[in-house]
Structure 1
Amino acid sequence: MGGICRGDEPSQPLAEQTQLGWILFGKMQSFQCNIVMTNVDSIQKFWEVEDLEEDPELSSDDKACMEFYSATTQRDVNGRYVVRLPMKPDTHEKIGKSKNMAKAQFINLEKKFHKQKEFSNAYKGFISEYIALQHMVPAKNNSTSPACFLPHHGVQRVDSLSTKLRVVFNASAKTSSGYSLNDMMLKGPNLQKDLQCLIVKWRIYPYAFISDIEKMYRQILVHEEDQPYQQIVWRELPEQPIQEYQLTTVTYGTTAAPFLAMMTLQQLAADESSKYPEAARIVKEAFYMDDLLHGSFDVESGQKLIKDMNNLLKSGGFN
């Protein structure tokens, strides 16, 4: 901020005033800095600024979301979790019509397909995989259930080693009533671990390992009654009739997706803790969304932990 203050001797440190206060730098053996503060409040404020805040208390919506998850989540015969979407009570009245808008945006998307063949092939490949894995199925006409059609578009990631293109379903698109699906969905509490703490803990191990869960959201099933909220329109070729599909898994782009994914991971750890106690603890403590950061103090215990982690996650349908 103001120049540099130099001492009488070249060997003495330099002082410079910055936005963070005065700093000393240069070659030195040891220096003692004494500060006299008569205002105790200043000391208290300093420590309050430096201290890490505790997690805030859950809001009423977050508590309701947690209770709803616990009351409605099930596991199917294969061990996969089936969740309900945490919709607000007045969703049925407020959600508007969205099919025509979704069709119009899809027709625009087809025009892009015509101009960009590489993009078109990647997009159609992505959707074909969705259909093959039964992550989307033909929509079931049920006039009693409210429906919502989600426009979709492609996001290209040239630097990605695995998925060069991801199809994003836009749950924030407004329906005819002015409300979107995301407007009517509870977000749930943030269950994400602090990334800095994860990295610091990760560095204590002489042997470290990292991993990620393949298609994490799409390994969690959405209850059949809630799938009409996740409908899309699609056809392979322009001369074919436009068809309606419903997405069967937790969908990237919906408000509750991060909560549902992290909560399901924690639920899996709790359900399998008696069989894999150490692996269950790691699942609860060492994941940043779908990424795992952990390690071990020797190779043998690390290999056993990795094996147990794989078996625990596989029991819930995660790879």
Structure 2
Amino acid sequence: MKLSDRSFHLPGPFDGIIGAEYFLQLLKQGKIKVPNQNAILQNTVFGWIVAGKITLPETTIQMSCHLLSTSLNEQLEKFWTIENCLERKILSLGERECENHYKKYYARCRNWKILRPEIKEAYIENMKSYLTNGNMSESKLACIREEYYLPHHVVIKNSSLTTQLRVVFDGSSKSVTGLSLNDALMVGLSMQENLFSLLVRFRSILIV
């Protein structure tokens, strides 16, 4: 089918205007009705023309709206429930052996410190040696505010032949005043020789 204007569906300028007295003279035999439309195809001396109205199918746009009937507190509670980890962790064979070993050989003291029984006895004996040698004495102060408790813990070195267990004191631990024992004590002179003196003496001896 030859159309008189192949781009009739596109907007554009007019090529000319034909009056009604000449329009009917241009029509030729041949008319086709477009199915389900209010338009026809008419044959003319210039070719087929389209007249009438063509209705295009409407595009349906689907929209969804979700409404939550639960409150914000319930949603937050469900969120935290989902995010929570399992209360009981599944342990491997090695982790279970370690856990059983810990329960068998370790216990908690009254001050919630963890200590093995055999280490506890050695720890007590080590502290008693400070009393015996006069390195420490029992405080007789009645006012608790004037006392300062020096934290200490045990260090174990099984490879040592002489001192496998020793007590280490933490003199840098802050008190309620914000000061530590190291802050309150005078520094004093260094009892050790400096590195320069050691190197000079080292070079002055033939055999070291």
TM-score calculated relative to the size of structure 1? 0.27
Higher RCO (C-alpha under 8 Å, 6+ residues apart)? 1
Greater helix proportion: 1
